[in-house]
Structure 1
Amino acid sequence: MTPSDIKALRHHKAGTPTAQHSYRSAKGEVVLIANRFDRTGGGKFFLPYTIDSQSWTAPDSRPLYRLPELLASKPDSIVIITEGEKCADALASLGYITTTTFGGASSAHKTDLSPVQGCRVVIWPDNDDPGRKYADQIATALCTGFSTKAHILQIADFPVQIAEFHATNGTDHNSANIDENPVEICAGWDAADAISNGWGVAEIDALIAHALQADEKPVLSNEVAPGRSLADIEVWKTPDGEPYATLRLDGHFEHWPIASAAFKKFLSYQHYQDTGKMLSQSALDDQRRTYEGQALFDGEAHPVFNRIGTLGRTLYVDIGDVSWKAIAINSEGWQVIDHPPARFTRARSMQPLAMPAMSGGDINLLRPFLNTANEADFQMLIAWLIGCFHPKGPYPILILNGEQGSAKSTTARVLRNLIDPANPIARSAPNSEQDLVIAAKHNHVLAFDNLSTIKPMMADAFCRIATGGGFGTRKLHTDSEEMLFSATRPCLLNGIPDLAGRPDLADRAIVVSLPVIAPTDRAFEGEFNKALDAQMPLILAGLLDAVSTALENLATVRLAERPRMADFAKWVSAAEPALGWTQGAFLAAYAANRESGDRMSVEGNPVGLAILKLVQDDGRWSGTMTELKTTLRNRYPLLTDDPYSFPRQENKLSAAIRRIIPPLRRMRVVISFDRSGHSGERTLRIERA
């Protein structure tokens, strides 16, 4: 936004601000505007405006006010932290290095204080209880998080402090403006009030010097118990009511479930560091439950993400490294950022992504590392990768099949490492919905290796988690509480047999059959991995370019036809310009893949294949479900002898037929149900379209 755009900001309810203060990044770019509004009956209030999201909200991670001036100062400079931008600007006009945080005492923990680490810090609070609370929180955060001592000015004693300093140092006190302009230090009195009442450099230097010479211990709130205070631990909850804690560690933010074993171990370790003693188990549980209660009843609600999340019009990807960096992607491009506003949680299995190259990205560099039979299959794998970045889903299920030696597991590993690397990279088949839910809670991509078959119950679960659905189970150690989980996740399955035999699963799947690799063409795993690692930054950069292009074009893409998984099709079509594909190339490849999937789902389904043969032989057929069962069993015994694949009960056979109707319809076989006669007997008619 230009300065004129910022000046022209107008809130839809509050109107035009009476004053504005710009928070800038280290590069000097405006990232946050603090807008002041005056109330009609007196008083004021502030509303934030975030440049990145172009919304009247404040980002979760905020820079210090006047950050470029702070970074340009000498390392041994005295930094004055005030409560409010007006006070900071007033002191800066006298030549002081000043800063503040946006949001006052309640939001000080959301500001990155690392730029003042190691500086000589003086805090000038407002003369009221919120001001003292603000000063205590800032001082505590600097002391415990950055080993930086802060000196809080005691406002009520200002006249005495100034007089004592001049008397002790033998300086001329008679010329001080405070003698000529005595003021009453009332509630709410601040640095801007002092300067407007005639205080100058002499008085302020005296106050700072008096505070620095006091050589007091680091200032901590008397109410803070041993261990980290809420200035360092922000407690909050998810929209589903799960309590979380945000910790500042080594200059970055981490987000931990309060109920996790890791958070309990952290509390125990922190107490030992502070006191040299270990907490008893009961005291540790009490402290954890205290944080949990504060999160549930006082904490703000924020969404939590695993690897990929979206806020506003920006998509964030957790890199997974020790510094908790992330990639921010929007319609204008992408960049690596240090403090993402999206709150990510991490599982122990998560592994870091490759650091993307800042230029020269090319998704086509992935070709030598994927064993595909043709260009259409390569396009389907790239489309699935791009689909995994969709902010909400749905996500097609990628099914890789092929003989032994067709590099199914290697292909799955390469694909997942571009989005959500983990250790292990793939798991064995889940035995229950609960296993699938646990995997989904801790992974963005669900990858399962060497499957022999997919049980009907698990096929239904895969369909729900790919397109969006809820799961519920009894909460542990309770009789009546239910634990609910709702999520949409990309899934990757591989195996030798055709895994898309169930029609509803095939309808949501991209199926790619991998060719066998000749013995003379096989690569040594070490050489393969070394070559892949060298190209991975450029491949990932090309993938991010495509995602940015999808965000840019999504609103303008129009599909002539809307296939199943239409949101996925629209998303990938929006990314085509960055992939070098001609317009409509993806939809053509996707249609061909779905047609192939239809054939495989029918050919792998004894009920569907028997009906297809019946139509091929007779052209059309009509009758009751009992008559159809008898006809099929008599005419095609090899397809219908197995009671597990060809149901014997009419109601179960009817359900199996209804599942196979969509792919048969796309193969120009129409099945319709009707009732006839006075008794309303159900009949069905099968014919070619």
Structure 2
Amino acid sequence: MSQAEDIVNGAGVSKSDKGPSQASLLVRIARERFELFMSEDGRPYAVAKNGPNLALPLRGKAGLRSQLARIFTDDNTGNVPSQSALADAMTVLEGIAASADPRVPHLRVARHEGGIVVDLGTSDGRCVVIGPHGWDRVPRSPVLFRRSGAMKPLPDPVRDGDGLARLRGLLNTSEEGFRLLVGWLVAAFLPDLPHPILTFRGEQGTGKSKAAQMVIGIIDPSGAPKRTAPRDLKSWGVQAFNSWGLCLDNVSVIADWLSDALCRAVTGDGMIDRALYSDDDVVVLEFRRVLAMTTIDAGALAGDLAERLLTIELSLIPDSKRREEAELDAAFADAHAAILASLFDVLAAVLKALPDVTLTERPRMADFARVLAAVDHVKDWRTLESYRASARNAVADVLDGEPFAQAVVDLVDKAGPEGLTLTAQELLDRVATPDKLPKKWPKDSTRAGGQLKRLAPALRTVGINVDDTQRGPAPQRQRLYKLTASESRRIPASTASTTQPAGALTSGNGMDATTSPSVHAASIPAPTASTPGPLMDAANAEVDADPPPASTPSPIHDQARHSDMDAGDAMDAEMRPLSEVATPRLDVIERLIGTCAGCGQDMTILTPGQTHHPMCESDPA
């Protein structure tokens, strides 16, 4: 009689009361073929001794329980273990796992000996190892990974032309935006640093959702690459725990709890929940994730979330250039392997350059900024500057959606260089209050102080400094808020208010032509001592004028030399005398302010030879 025939029920009692039970056989199989351990967050796992370096949860759809049931059936001529035997075996195996040293199973990417290991997600456990000197495909990962039902396999990277150029052809953004996206993708394979939330912004018809789907699919393919905003914190935690890259699609408004959760997911988060089928046991969800979102208006986002955004603007796709979704999917699938290979090439070079990269100024996401600096060193790009500008713009957009913040900015701008020092109630009393209070407008001094504290980082980004460390006199000892505009914020205002020289006419654009390197002073004749040069105002000028230094007159009629950036091409509107050697050009209209020889009043001269008003010429009296 075979062993399988001898075992007849879930308790393992045989006809002759001999032989091990089903549960005992299942435990024996597990101990012979798997290593059992607990993760640092208290979850039991098993990893095959002679198989892929993959951590299998003891329970679940693709966990150890189902594996043991299959092995038992294969080894015992098709006999299936009972549910009670499997449950008893799992209880014993959890106890064995708890006695082992804890280990950390990683999700999709992991650090290893100065390099990066990327799990391809295949059933045989293949991976890619990237180091400072290149990358290579490896049949078995040196790092323990775990999988989830949300993950799909990555293709084997293959060098097939310029993968980045092929990705560029699938996205309708500027070159600056694309390079910034490449920097973000390279950083997405570095697991131990905070990643800003990639935000695709554009009007309807710009392909935001498709772009986000492709970008997340590059690093972490999933059956659901685009997701709606979760309904509560628990559902968000489950999603984030089981995917390395996530994308929230068509975000218009983000609840406060979700905004806080996204911020924590960027820097690292942990959530505690009650364990299934228990009253007092808990499970912990720990994660740091790579996040993306699509939105039309980022101004509805909270200020602390806006500081963690990396915004990529997408342009409208003309109908004549719009492509069908199936065509885009096929093009992306065909290019995916080459895109990965090119990204891994850049990542390897970045890993080699990073030890020598030091930032003199560190923005909020300093680790990510350092990676961008390494990308710039490798590719000779300027992604770090683009990122800083993008962060400032995102914060400014958020402040546009905060009426109270806008009122505070206006109040500080009017206060002058000394700024304001006042209590929260005094601030609330002095800001311009709308007739109909917006929803976010603080209703009392406590809420005003709290909102000012929350908005302080965003206000600082636009040049408004908030200092709340001071206290008022006794006995109230009220908190005082000192609000000042930075010097860089005050400079444009002071420049705009500078009085122009008497008689000077400007082009109305607030710029000074003498600051432009395109101005050619050598082409400007100097005024003579006897004849002061009349002031000139170029009709199409983009820049204003200051009196130029004296220079040698050009024998060529300077008003017609557009190639030398004079008045004809709007770059050189400055004080000039009439050229004595120039031949009058009636086809060139010149707006020169002079004094009429007949009446002494200011006049507009249309040609160099005209010296009188038309009325004076016809009627000198």
TM-score, normalised to structure 1, is 0.63
Q: 1:254 to 1:686 in 2, by over 3 A?
A: closer
Say which SS state the counterpart of residue 648 (structure 1) adopts: coil
Correspondence for 1:433 among 233, 248, 254: 233
Change (3 A) 1:494 1:552: same
Partner SS state of residue 658, structure 1 = helix
Counterpart position of 2:451 = 656
Structure 1 residue 448: deviation in Å?
A: 1.1
1:301, CA displacement in angstroms?
2.8
User: Are 1:546 and 1:576, in contact at CA under 8 Å, matched by a contact in 2?
Assistant: no
Which residue does 1:626 correspond to in 2?
425
Q: Which amino acid aligns with 1:530?
A: A
* Structure 1 residue 499 displacement after superposition: 5.7
Question: Structure 1 residue 681 and structure 2 residue 470: aligned?
Answer: no
How far does the alpha carbon of each residue in 1:40-71 deviate from its partner, in whole angstroms, 9 at most, with x for none? xxxxxxxxxxxxxxxxxxxxxxxxxxxxxxxx
Mark the CA change 1:408 to 1:576 in structure 2 (over 3 Å): closer, same or farther.
Answer: same
Which residue of structure 2 lines up, in the alignment, with residue 331 of structure 1? 132
Number of the residue aligned with 2:362? 562
The one-letter code sitting in structure 2 at the alignment partner of 1:492 is A
| DSSP-derived class of the 1:309 partner | strand
Q: Partner amino acid for 1:567?
A: D
Residue of structure 1 in register with 2:397 after alignment: 600
Deviations 1:7-40 (A, max 9, x none): xxxxxxxxxxxxxxxxxxxxxxxxxxxxxxxxxx
Identify unmatched segments of 5+ residues in structure 2. 1-22, 487-621
Q: Which amino acid aligns with 1:326?
A: C
CA distance in 1, matches of 2:52, 2:146: 14
SS in 2 for 1:637: coil
Shift of 1:324: 2.0
Confirm whether residue 309 of structure 1 aligns to residue 110 of structure 2.
yes
Matched, 1:552 2:352: yes
Identity score, percent:
29
Residue aligning to 1:386 = 186
Shift of 1:471: 2.2
Instruction: Give the Cα–Cα distance (whole angstroms) in 2 for the partners of residues 509 and 576 of structure 1.
Output: 20
Between structure 1 and structure 2, the one with the greater Rg is 2
Query: Cα offset for 1:265?
Result: 2.2
Distance change >3 Å, CA 364–CA 499, structure 1 → 2 = farther
8 Å contact kept, 2:24–2:89? no
| 1:295 counterpart residue number | 97
Contact 1:236 1:295 in 2 (8 A): yes
Could you tell me which residue of structure 2 aligns to residue 273 of structure 1? 74
**2:406 aligns with one of 601, 609, 612:** 609
1:108-187 equivalences in 2 (<5 Å): none
Shift of residue 577 of structure 1?
4.4
- Aligned pair 1:641/2:437, yes or no? yes
Q: Aligned residue for 2:546?
A: none
Q: Secondary structure at the match of 2:227?
A: coil
1:395 aligns with 2:201: no
Equivalence for 1:318? 119
Tell me which residue corresponds to 1:133. Answer: none
SS at 1:267's partner residue?
A: helix
Structure 1 position 230, deviation (Å): 2.6
Is 1:571 paired with 2:374?
no
1:218-242: CA deviation from partner (whole Å, max 9, x where unpaired): xxxxx98367353322222222332
Q: Distance in 1 between matches of 2:380 and 2:458?
A: 28
Q: Is the 8 A contact 1:452 1:496 kept in 2?
A: yes
Length-normalised TM-score, structure 2: 0.70
* Other structure's SS at 2:152 match: coil
Paired residue secondary structure (1:336):
strand
- Structure 1 residue aligned with 2:87: 285
> Does the aligned pair in 1 maintain the 2:110–2:143 contact within 8 Å?
yes
Please state how far the C-alpha of 1:312 moved relative to its aligned partner: 2.4
Deviations 1:464-520 (A, max 9, x none): 110123222333343433332222111111122326631111111112232222222
1:257 maps to what in 2? 57
3-state SS, counterpart of residue 25 of structure 2:
coil
Alpha-carbon shift at residue 339 of structure 1 (Å): 0.5
Report deviation, 1:422.
0.2
1:203-242 alignment runs, 5 A limit: 225=25, 228-242=29-43
Alignment gaps of 5+ in structure 1: 1-222
Distance 1:371 1:652 in 2: 43
Q: Quick check: 1:500–1:597 contact (8 Å CA) kept in 2?
A: no
Is the Cα contact below 8 Å between 1:406 and 1:515 reproduced in 2? yes
Which residue of the partner structure matches residue 114 of structure 1?
A: none
Q: CA deviation at 1:253?
A: 4.6
User: RMSD of the TM alignment (CA)?
Assistant: 2.2
AA of the residue aligned to 2:437: D
C-alpha deviation, 1:623, in angstroms:
2.7
1:297-348 C-alpha deviation (Å, 9 max, x unpaired): 1x34321011111222231111112322111111111111111021111111
How many angstroms does 1:361 deviate by? 4.8
Spell out, residue by residue over 1:130-156, the C-alpha distance to the aligned partner (whole angstroms, 9 max, x if none).
Answer: xxxxxxxxxxxxxxxxxxxxxxxxxxx
2:387 matches 1:590: yes
In structure 2, what is the Cα distance between the partners aligned to 1:234 and 1:659? 49
| 3-state SS in 2 of match to 1:494 | strand
Structure 2 residue 207 is matched with structure 1 residue 410: no
User: Residues 300 and 675 from structure 1, CA distance in 2 versus in 1: closer, same or farther, beyond 3 angstroms?
Assistant: closer
Letter in 2 for 1:676: G
- Determine helix, strand or coil for the equivalent of 2:316: coil
Contact 1:502/1:605 (CA < 8 Å) preserved in 2? no
Match of 1:434, SS? helix
Whole-angstrom distance in 2 between the partners of 1:512 and 1:233: 46
Task: Check conservation: 1:440, 1:487, Cα contact below 8 A.
Answer: yes
| Partners of 2:40 and 2:104 within 8 A in 1 | yes
Deviation at 1:641, TM superposition (A): 0.9
Aligned to 1:187: none
Distance 1:252 1:470 in 2: 28
**Does 1:518 find its partner at 2:318?**
yes
1:113-172 Cα shifts (integer Å, max 9, x gaps):
xxxxxxxxxxxxxxxxxxxxxxxxxxxxxxxxxxxxxxxxxxxxxxxxxxxxxxxxxxxx
Q: 1:393 to 1:443 in 2, by over 3 A?
A: same
Distance in 2 between the 1:235 and 1:621 partners?
Answer: 63
Which residue number corresponds to residue 144 of structure 1? Answer: none
